[in-house]
């Protein structure tokens, strides 16, 4: 196992899985740049880590905007001299029935969950190819493996993330690609948008079972810490009791 310090960029690090991954990797001695729209939460996180003796850099990031994602990668390169790892974690899940035709929320999921991942790849891949190494970690979901009622569009975005990851992995001889599929994880994912009753039901169904985001962070760290010739291509991490 490599213990080398890597330059890691994490999208959507202001809460949940992204925040837990930033904490885990920064504490492990990696150089981490955390991005999200809620920069005050990122600053709080950096302050907490500093008090612990760990360093975390933060910046504003909107993954739906390609310029913002390119600026994120440029900041990482400026700070650390290179980008070794990109964790494409930012995501949204406003659940509803397809027949409710919440078209704006479908587009938001496509923009954040699919385009956001592609923007991240476009921003870091040329530099990684040039250096002949790098690692892209895409956070998909168990919803990328199966479809449940009210999650049709969300699932579609996560199937897409798995397809993009697998395609990129097959093309690549030097850049590692990992897709991580979390199951129910205790985060703020159901707090925004969607049909209120559906989101409430999703919370009720998952809260009891859900695992902490640190469980997903450990899986991401496992993939990141492998040597350059070892690609952990897919990890499914879910509560033991999740059906």
Interaction between residue 112 and ligand NDP (CB under 6 A): yes
CA dist., res. 61 & res. 69, Å (int): 7
Interaction between residue 46 and ligand NDP (CB under 6 A): no
Minimum CB distance to ligand NDP smaller for 130 or for 148? 148
CA dist., res. 18 & res. 213, Å (int): 8
| Contact set for ligand NDP, span 168-207 (CB under 6 A) | 182, 184-185, 187-189
CA dist., res. 52 & res. 77, Å (int): 25
Q: How far is the CB of 197 from ligand NDP (least distance, A)?
A: 19
Q: Of 154, 160, 224, 232, which is the active-site residue? A: 154
Q: How far is the CB of 38 from ligand NDP (least distance, A)?
A: 3
Q: Is 173 exposed, middle or buried (0-12, 13-18, 19+ CB in 10 A)?
A: exposed
Which residue matches tokens 């990122």?
A: 42
Determine which residue in the list 27, 28, 44, 64 makes contact with ligand NDP, applying CB under 6 A: 64
Q: What are phi and psi of 91, to 5 degrees?
A: -165, 160
Minimum CB distance to ligand NDP smaller for 38 or for 146? 38
Is 118 catalytic? The answer is no
Q: Tokens representing 21?
A: 């991954």
Residues 6+ apart with CB under 8 A from 47: none
| Contact set for ligand NDP, span 204-233 (CB under 6 A) | 213
Determine the angle formed by the axes of helices 116-131 and 66-80, rounding to 10 degrees.
Answer: 40
Interaction between residue 36 and ligand NDP (CB under 6 A): yes
The residues assigned a catalytic role are: 154
Which residue ranges make up the site for ligand NDP (CB under 6 A)? 11-18, 36-38, 61-64, 89-93, 112, 139, 141, 182, 184-185, 187-189, 213
């Amino acid at each position: 196992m490599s213990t080398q310090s890597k330059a890691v960029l994490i999208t959507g690090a202001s809460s949940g899985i992204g925040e837990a991954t930033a904490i885990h990797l920064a504490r492990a001695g990696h150089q981490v740049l955390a991005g999200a729209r809620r920069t005050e939460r990122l600053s709080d996180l950096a302050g907490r880590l500093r008090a612990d003796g760990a360093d975390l850099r933060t910046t504003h990031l909107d993954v739906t905007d390609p310029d913002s994602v390119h600026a994120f990668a440029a900041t990482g390169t400026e700070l650390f001299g290179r980008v070794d790892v990109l964790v494409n974690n930012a995501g949204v899940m406003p659940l509803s029935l397809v027949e409710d035709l919440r078209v704006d929320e479908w587009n938001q999921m496509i923009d954040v969950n699919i385009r956001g991942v592609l923007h991240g790849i476009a921003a870091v891949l040329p530099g990684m190819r040039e250096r002949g190494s790098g690692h892209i970690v895409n956070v998909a979901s168990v919803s990328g493996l199966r479809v449940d009622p009210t999650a049709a569009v969300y699932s579609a975005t996560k199937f897409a993330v798995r397809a993009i990851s697998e395609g990129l992995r097959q093309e690549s001889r030097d850049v590692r690609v990992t897709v991580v599929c979390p199951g129910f994880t205790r985060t703020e994912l159901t707090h925004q948008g969607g049909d209120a009753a559906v989101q409430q039901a999703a919370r009720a169904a998952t809260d009891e079972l859900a695992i902490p985001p640190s469980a997903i962070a450990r899986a991401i760290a496992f993939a990141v810490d492998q040597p350059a010739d070892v690609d952990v291509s897919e990890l499914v991490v879910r509560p033991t009791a999740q059906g």
